[in-house]
Amino acid sequence: MTTREEKAKARINDALRRYRGVLETAKQQNKNESDTSGIIFNMLGDVLGYDKFEEVTGQFRVRGQYIDYAVKLNGDVKFLVEVKAVGTTLKADHLRQVTSYAVNEGVEWAVLTNGPVWQLYHIEFEKPIAVELVFEADLLSDERDAVIDLLYLISREAAGKDEVKKYWTDKLAVSAPNIVRALLSDDVIDEMRREFRQLTRYRLSPEEMRKLLLAQVVRPDVAEAACGMRAVAKPAKRLGRPPKAPPTEAQP
């Protein structure tokens, strides 16, 4: 028996086959933002399965400003959508725009798209507010299965069960910063010190072992994220240099 998820992914697959040509033509013709927005409106229904006339609100007002679309389910806004022209490269300024709308409306998910590229962001309402990339899907890429899996997360079927929240929670749980925190924990450090001494005859203090790992093993961007208290799924940039490895001496 075909499951709800399988049916949804079959619909997404069929629709993407049709829209690939639409998006390629739009890109070749350098369609403007209004034309691109019209394509996205249809994709919200044909690809993601929402009722375009009952569950998609165009020019959704947020404190006197307007975002392209608000996608609702049972009256609740599930995510906001900001559309840019098909030939536009999505940039940080566009992200600030859509996330400001989401923050003002109290919506934790926001989509930024130019048609071929879809980016989903999560907004964490803490101080300071954290905005993190959940996924980026290129609909014109050859990675069809991966794209289908990602788009499913914001489909009507998945939204009904908040499946994107579980996906995001799981992704954070196994993120590199969390793994580094485990690696730098007292128990692991003590075990590594014992093993290191047996292999090299060098005796390191716990702090020296941590500094050595951060300097020579862990990527700087991951180390920076791990030193903070918040795990991230995809660090935006490399934030600093790791500490230098401490000098060591062999023990007699």
CATH of the domain at 89: 3.90.1570
Q: How much is the pLDDT for 230?
A: 47
Q: Which of 142, 162, 182 is the last residue of a domain?
A: 162
Would you say 118 and 149 are in contact if contact means Cβ atoms under 8 Å apart? no
SS3 category, 28: helix
The owner of tokens 């490269």 is 89
pLDDT in tens, 137-191: 999 999 999 999 999 999 999 999 989 999 988 887 766 777 787 888 888 988 9
pLDDT given at position 183: 82
**How do residues 78-94 score in pLDDT, each as one tens digit?**
999 999 999 899 998 89
Lowest mean pLDDT among 6-15, 104-113, 184-193, 228-237: 228-237
Shared domain for 158 and 196, answered yes or no, is no
Domain ranges, residue 212:
174-252
Domain membership flag for residue 167: no
How many independent structural domains does the chain possess?
Answer: 2
Q: Helix/strand/coil (H, E, C) string of 164-190? A: HHHHHHHHHHCCHHHHHHHHCCHHHHH
Instruction: Mark which of 162, 188, 209 sits at the end of a domain.
Output: 162
Which phi-psi region, left, alpha or beta, contains residue 64 (left: φ > 0; alpha: ψ -120 to 50)?
left
pTM score of the predicted model: 0.74
